[in-house]
Structure 1
Amino acid sequence: MTEVSHFALGDFALDCGVTLPAAQIAYTTYGTLNAARDNVIVFPTWFVGSHADLEWLIGDGEPLDTSKYFVVVPSMFANGLSSSPSNTPAPYDRGRFPAITMQDNVRAQHRLLSEQFDVQKIQLAIGGSMGAFQAYQWGLAHPDLVERIAPCCGAARVSPHCYVFLAGAKAALLADPVYAGGDYETVPDAGLRALGRVWAGWALSQEFFRDGLYREMGFDTVDAFLVDFWEAFWVGIDANDLLSQLHTWQTADISLTPGYDGDLEKALGAIKAKAVASPGQKDLYFPPEDMAWEVAQMPNAEVRPIPGPWGHFSEVGINPACNAFLGNSIRMLLER
């Protein structure tokens, strides 16, 4: 099992105006940092994910090749490893954890890379889903440090449609009276299971269900897939951590970075890094046409949709064809 380290941020000022005391960011590393400190890849985690979810792309000979690169995987705030509602003492514990932005996450990650490792160049900032927001943010906030970005199945700003989906998922959980404003005494099981069923209809495409591709994941029926995969997944996650990350996703917007005043076109145009955006061809959260528009605003970018019916799961390492396509896109970008 990969060792998890923690970087102490101290009293960390957040965009919401709160200073989070004794904040910390969890991280893992793979490969060796070279003498010039310029062979770095940063790969932030996605929604409710950890480093373990990303390791399929990392290793000797893999797309993120540890024989060449030093890969740093920082955990997002509220994923249960970095500072989170579930591990922060009062007064910011549980449902009182302050609002976190994508900018907060990348600012903390930059401190990790600069203070812990004295990184001189980042060859690639890559991320999937919520990690894609962070990849865009890295490219915008640190144009002289970041050579390339690879946002996958994500966006630079949450769309109104995605915002509505997330609102529905949150409502399913908050409707469980056991949640009790975050001070629950037992796990809000009914709310978490309801959220799982909301999520199931969006994460994968209509074609995925029509063709019964859940069988490739080991489930004989749709109902078994709903109960044994979706419900089982969510009941293992701390509800307050989950809601904190949902808020971060729902408010994600790189154009809120100081100097851009909400102008997304201007923010995207300021990203100098070479970029390949990889949407899932049938992703319902982040449709490929949305990423294509983002790429069109950037000076040195292209879009390479991941073909197939796997929707938002196109970049999670499940389907071999999706994995091969995305791996090839990453290798091509690293050679540019």
Structure 2
Amino acid sequence: MADYDIFELGNVVLQSGATLRGAKLAYKTYGRLNASKDNAIVYPTWYSGQHTENEWLIGPGMALDPEKYFILVPNMFGNGLSSSPSNTPPPWDRARFPGVTVHDNVACQYRLVTEKWGIERLRLVVGWSMGAQQTFEWGAAYPQMVERIAPFCGSARTSRHNFVFLEGVKAALTADDAFQGGWYERQPTKGLRAMARVYAGWGFSRTFYRERLDIEGMGFASLEDFLVGFWEGLFLPRDANNLLAMLWTWQHADISANPRYGGNFEMALGAITARALVMPGQTDLYFPPEDSEYEVAHMPDAELRPIPSIWGHCAGGPGVNPADVKFIDEALKALLQS
């Protein structure tokens, strides 16, 4: 049995101009909504991740404590549970799945929060990586509703360098002859393995590899064991078209790319009135701290607190390094108490 619920959105007109017909938003909740409806937290998923892969930051005694808070984890479009290339019926299935932006994702999450539960205020929105992009979007799109945001290892707008990194990921995946332009009958496993190898050079820092933490910290027998066991093992179970759909979302992330802000990035950042704790990974290779510094400088109530870790982007998740988990959890506790 599925451990999540589905919110039926009907036909959703997207920023791309296409319509996502019969759109479905998969979600899971942890804890109970109180009578005053003021204990809600939204915690979106990350690139390729599903709600269960967010659970490392949820638990009794942690900042995201289901005994205190009502924690909603919405699954991003394209992740295989919400509407995705792999589960959308023809003619919009597989390679025809329309481009969905971060703005589209959050607008549908807003509908879930308000239409299903009648929630008017969110105690916190928090997320890692693409979850952080959705967190920034929540703050800019619904400033009157969001009290606090805590994006970590992510950005309010995808940088040009980050865009190029993703082009390499995309090229590796689609170069497999089995991909067939997205109309494959079986998963393009060579492409998925190649994609994993490209990703491996970016997800962790140079110092992580220099210190041999793949062996000393994660218990793999060799570098090759790590590349196969961790990285190929991460992406091989995923659907290739789903990965490409979420990659498109990532590349087009920009909190100002909407009629409200008209592409004025600084205006969009300035509209985030929520108390913000922005936590970049100190050694993150594609969401570097200097991007976060710029964002925080243009937000009215924001603090920059880099995660002091050599685990690169994966300092932020999915729960691979206990010291980083502790740092993030303690920071969230302080934010929620503020």
Q: Same fold (TM over 0.5)?
A: yes
Q: Is the 8 A contact 1:26 1:81 kept in 2?
A: yes
Q: Deviations over 1:301-327 (max 9, x none)?
A: 001101111000011111111111111
Q: Is the 8 A contact 1:2 1:28 kept in 2?
A: no
- Counterpart of 1:285 in structure 2 is 286
In structure 2, C-alpha distance between the alignment counterparts of 1:68 and 1:45, rounded to whole Å? 21
Q: CA deviation at 1:2?
A: 8.1
Point out where structure 1 has 5 or more consecutive residues left out of the alignment: none
- Counterpart of 1:304 in structure 2 is 305
- 1:187-266 equivalent positions in 2, closer than 5 A: 187-215=187-215, 216-266=217-267
SS of 1:91 mapped into structure 2: coil
> What is the one-letter code of the residue matched to 2:45?
T
- Counterpart of 1:137 in structure 2 is 137
In structure 2, C-alpha distance between the alignment counterparts of 1:311 and 1:289, rounded to whole Å? 14
In structure 1, C-alpha distance between the alignment counterparts of 2:257 and 2:27, rounded to whole Å? 26
- Counterpart of 1:37 in structure 2 is 37
In structure 1, C-alpha distance between the alignment counterparts of 2:164 and 2:19, rounded to whole Å? 30
> What is the one-letter code of the residue matched to 2:230?
F
- Counterpart of 1:327 in structure 2 is 329
In structure 2, C-alpha distance between the alignment counterparts of 1:217 and 1:63, rounded to whole Å? 25
Q: Deviations over 1:141-188 (max 9, x none)?
A: 111110000001000000111000000000001111110011102210
Q: Deviations over 1:221-250 (max 9, x none)?
A: 111111121112211110000000000001
- Counterpart of 2:181 in structure 1 is 181
> What is the one-letter code of the residue matched to 2:31?
G
1:171 aligns with 2:207: no
In structure 2, C-alpha distance between the alignment counterparts of 1:223 and 1:274, rounded to whole Å? 43
> What is the one-letter code of the residue matched to 2:332?
I
Q: Is the 8 A contact 1:122 1:145 kept in 2?
A: yes
> What is the one-letter code of the residue matched to 1:50?
Q
Equivalenced residue count is 336
RMSD between aligned residues: 1.0
TM (normalized to structure 1)?
A: 0.98
Q: Is the 8 A contact 1:48 1:79 kept in 2?
A: yes
In structure 2, C-alpha distance between the alignment counterparts of 1:266 and 1:51, rounded to whole Å? 32
Q: Is the 8 A contact 1:36 1:120 kept in 2?
A: no
- 1:84-163 equivalent positions in 2, closer than 5 A: 84-163=84-163
> Which is worse superposed, 167-176 or 220-229?
220-229
In structure 2, C-alpha distance between the alignment counterparts of 1:257 and 1:322, rounded to whole Å? 34
Q: CA deviation at 1:102?
A: 0.3
In structure 2, C-alpha distance between the alignment counterparts of 1:256 and 1:96, rounded to whole Å? 23
TM (normalized to structure 2)?
A: 0.98
In structure 1, C-alpha distance between the alignment counterparts of 2:136 and 2:258, rounded to whole Å? 11
In structure 2, C-alpha distance between the alignment counterparts of 1:156 and 1:256, rounded to whole Å? 11
Point out where structure 2 has 5 or more consecutive residues left out of the alignment: none
In structure 1, C-alpha distance between the alignment counterparts of 2:2 and 2:322, rounded to whole Å? 24
- Counterpart of 1:274 in structure 2 is 275
Would you identify which runs of 4 or more consecutive aligned residues in structure 1 move more than 2 Å? Answer: none
SS of 1:255 mapped into structure 2: coil
> What is the one-letter code of the residue matched to 1:84?
S
SS of 1:78 mapped into structure 2: coil
